[in-house]
Chains A and B, each alone.
Chain A
Amino acid sequence: METKPFNDHSFYEFIGQQQLMGSKCEDCDTLYCPPRAFCPNCGGTNMAWHQFKGIGNLAAFTCITVCAPQMIALGYGRDNPYCVGVVHLEEGPKIDARILGVNAKKPETIKIGTKMNIQYLEAETENDTSFMGFSPVK
C-alpha cells in the first residue's frame, strides 16, 4: 500500500476496498482527505497514508431533483431526489459525499450537525461515481 501514489485514483481504489484513506504530512502532521502528494501547508512531500475513521458531522447538504446525468441513470429524478453533502470528518478535513439514510423528499427533516458515519456503495452502473456515502449514526 505504501507504493500507491497519493492521488485520486488511489483514493477511489481504497474506497472500493471499503477504506477511507487520505494522506498525512510527516513533516507538519497535516491531514488530507482525499490525499495530496504535496503539502500546501509546509511545502513538504513526505506523505504517509492515513486511514480515516469515516465518522463526522453533516456540514452542508442539498436534495437534488434536477439531477446529474449519472444520477438519472441510477433512477433519481424530480420525484425521486437524492441527498448529497459535505461531511466534516472527526480528524479535521471535510469531504463531499452522498448522504444516505435520510428522507431526501423531506429536506426540512435533515439537520446540519447530525453525526454521520461512512457507508460504502456498490457501483450500480458503469458511470456510477457515487462510491460512498454517509448516513446518520443510529
Chain B
Amino acid sequence: MMSKRKKLGREVAIVGAGMSQFGLFPEKNSKDLFLEAFLEMRDSVDKGVDLKEVEALYLGNFTNDFFTHQAHWGPIISDIIGLAPRPATRTEGACASSALAFREGVFAIASGMYDMVLVGGVEQMSACSTEQVAEGLALGTMPYEALAGFTFPGIFGAVATAYFAAFGASREQLMGVTIKSHNNAPLNPKGQIPLTVRDLMNKKAASFKRKEMSVPSWSDERDFLRDPQVNPMVAWPMHLFDCCPISDGGSCLLLTAADMATQFTDKPLYVAGIGQGSGRGFHASPEITSFEATKYAAQEAYGMSGMSASDIQFAEVHDCFSIAEIIHTEDLGFFAPGQGGHAVNDNLTALDGIMPINTSGGLKCKGHPVGATGTAQMVELWKQLRYEAGERQIPQPDLQIGLAHNLGGTGGTCTVTILERR
C-alpha cells in the first residue's frame, strides 16, 4: 500500500521558529504564551520579514475548551498577532495538535494556495487543578480505555508491563531515559525543569535536612529513583519521574514555499518528509509494545524523503512517559525491537551519543503544553540544525537531518517530520 512514493506538490521551507518559556504561568493566558513564541519567531528570521505577507494561520490546540472554558482559538490568536482578517484554522489531534497544524500549513503551501503561512500551537493547563487536568487529558484516550479505569499514565504503564514481559526489560531501562533527559535539561533555557536527577537528589536531601528528617543515603541517581519516598508510584511501573509535567506554553514556525526561502534566511530548513498515522487504541492494536500509527507515519515520512532510519542524525520523540521514548525509538527504526532501553543505558541516545534523542530535555523536562509540543519539537530541530542550540548543541560537525515524532493521546494520532538543512 505504501509502495508509491508520495511527494509534495512543491517544496516547503521553514524560515523562522520560536517558542515561549515552558512552565507553569498562572498569570499568563494562551494569548500571552503564543505572542511570546510569535515574537521570538519574528526575531529569528535572519533577513527580516513583513508579517503582513503571512497568508494564513494553522494553530494546534488540544483542549483549552476544557482547561480555560474558551474554544475557537484560531481567530483569537490570529487577532492578537495582527493576522485577522486572514484565515485561521485550529487543528486538534490531542498531544499531536500542532504537528497537525504544521502538516496543514505544509499542504497549504505545497498546493500552491499560499506562499507563506504561520503554524504553531498553544496550551494553557495550569489554570486547572491536577485532577481537572487529568480529566481533561482523559478526553484524549480512546473509547473503552477510560471506561475500564485506565488513566494516561496507566495506559503507558500497561504498555511497559507488556514490554518488560516481551523483552525481559525492567525499570532499569526506564530510569535510563529519565536520567538522560534530565542531563540535557539544564542546558535548555526554555525548559520547565532545568535540573539533573542529581540536582533533584541534592535538593531533596537539603529539604529533608531542613525539616530535620533523616536523609536517606542514596548511592546514586538510580538508587534515588528506586526510592518510593521521593519517586512514588503513579501507575505501575510508571513512577513520578517517568511522567512529564503539566505545562503552559506556545510555539510557532514560519513556512514559505522553498523557492522563496533564501529571501528570508541563508539557513532555511527544508521539509524532507512528513507522515501521519492513526491508531485504534490498545485493545484493537496488533501489538501492545509498538504504536502502529507511528510506524505508518514513519513509513510515509521516510518514503517521501527517500531516507531511512539510518539517515536520521538525531530526533525529538514524544516522551510523555519514559517507556514511550523507548518504544518510539524502536518504532522509528533507530533500534531493533527490545533494544531501545539498552540503547539508552549504553548512552547511545545521550547528547554526545551516536543517536541523540530529546536534546531539548524532552517533554519530561522541557515540559508538555500539549497543543504546543509538536511545533516546539521542530523548534529544537531548527536550533540544532542551524547550530544555535548553545550549550546543548549536538557535538557533531555535519548535522543535516533531524526528525520529530509527535504522538497524540494513547497513540490515536502520530506524526513524523523529517527536516533537512541543505
Closest Cβ–Cβ distance, residue A34 to chain B (whole Å): 7
Enumerate A40-87 residues with CB–CB distance to B below 8 Å. Answer: 59-71, 78, 81-82, 84-86
B143 within 8 A of A: yes
A14 within 8 A of B: no
Closest Cβ–Cβ distance, residue A94 to chain B (whole Å): 5
For A69, give its contact among B131, B159, B162 (CB under 8 Å): B131
9 A-B residue pairings within 8 Å (CB atoms)? A60-B159, A62-B153, A62-B155, A65-B234, A68-B134, A78-B232, A86-B162, A96-B282, A107-B161
Residues of B within 8 A of A62 (CB): 150, 153-155, 157-158, 160-161, 235-238
For A96, give its contact among B160, B165, B234, B283 (CB under 8 Å): B283
Residues of A within 8 A of B161 (CB): 60-62, 85, 107, 110, 112
The distance in angstroms between the C-alpha atoms of A94 and B288, with both chains bound, is 10
The distance in angstroms between the C-alpha atoms of A93 and B284, with both chains bound, is 7
Residues of A within 8 A of B232 (CB): 65, 78
Assuming the contacts A60-B161, A96-B283, asked whether A67 and B151 have C-beta atoms less than 8 A apart, the reply is yes
A131 within 8 A of B: yes
For B147, give its contact among A64, A93, A110, A131 (CB under 8 Å): A131
Residues of A within 8 A of B284 (CB): 93-94
- Nearest chain A residue, comparing its CB with the CB of B282: A86
Residues of B within 8 A of A59 (CB): 162, 288
* B233 engages A68 (CB within 8 Å): no
Residues of B within 8 A of A84 (CB): 148-150, 154, 158
The distance in angstroms between the C-alpha atoms of A63 and B158, with both chains bound, is 9
A130 within 8 A of B: yes
Q: Does more than half of chain B's interface fall in helix, strand or loop, or is it mixed?
A: helix
A115 within 8 A of B: no
* A66 engages B149 (CB within 8 Å): no
* B149 engages A68 (CB within 8 Å): yes
The distance in angstroms between the C-alpha atoms of A66 and B154, with both chains bound, is 9
Most buried by B among A69, A71, A111: A69
A residues at B contact (CB < 8 Å): 8, 34, 59-71, 78, 81-82, 84-86, 93-98, 107, 110-113, 129-131
- Nearest chain A residue, comparing its CB with the CB of B286: A94
Count of inter-chain pairs, beta carbons less than 8 A? 114
Most buried by B among A84, A93, A129: A84
Residues of A within 8 A of B54 (CB): none
Residues of A within 8 A of B155 (CB): 62
B49 within 8 A of A: no
B138 within 8 A of A: yes
* B237 engages A64 (CB within 8 Å): no
* A97 engages B148 (CB within 8 Å): yes
B218 within 8 A of A: no
* A68 engages B146 (CB within 8 Å): yes
Most buried by B among A64, A113, A131: A64
* B149 engages A71 (CB within 8 Å): yes
Residues of B within 8 A of A110 (CB): 161
The distance in angstroms between the C-alpha atoms of A20 and B165, with both chains bound, is 27
For B235, give its contact among A34, A63, A94, A97 (CB under 8 Å): A63
Closest Cβ–Cβ distance, residue B201 to chain A (whole Å): 22
* B151 engages A96 (CB within 8 Å): no
B135 within 8 A of A: yes
- Nearest chain A residue, comparing its CB with the CB of B243: A66
For A86, give its contact among B235, B237, B288 (CB under 8 Å): B288
| Given A66-B234, A68-B138, 9 new contacts (CB under 8 A) | A62-B237, A64-B150, A65-B234, A93-B284, A94-B282, A95-B144, A110-B161, A111-B165, A131-B147
The distance in angstroms between the C-alpha atoms of A97 and B158, with both chains bound, is 12
The distance in angstroms between the C-alpha atoms of A50 and B232, with both chains bound, is 43
B55 within 8 A of A: no
The distance in angstroms between the C-alpha atoms of A78 and B240, with both chains bound, is 13
Residues of B within 8 A of A67 (CB): 149, 151
B36 within 8 A of A: no
B46 within 8 A of A: no
The distance in angstroms between the C-alpha atoms of A129 and B154, with both chains bound, is 16
Residues of B within 8 A of A66 (CB): 134, 151, 153, 234-235
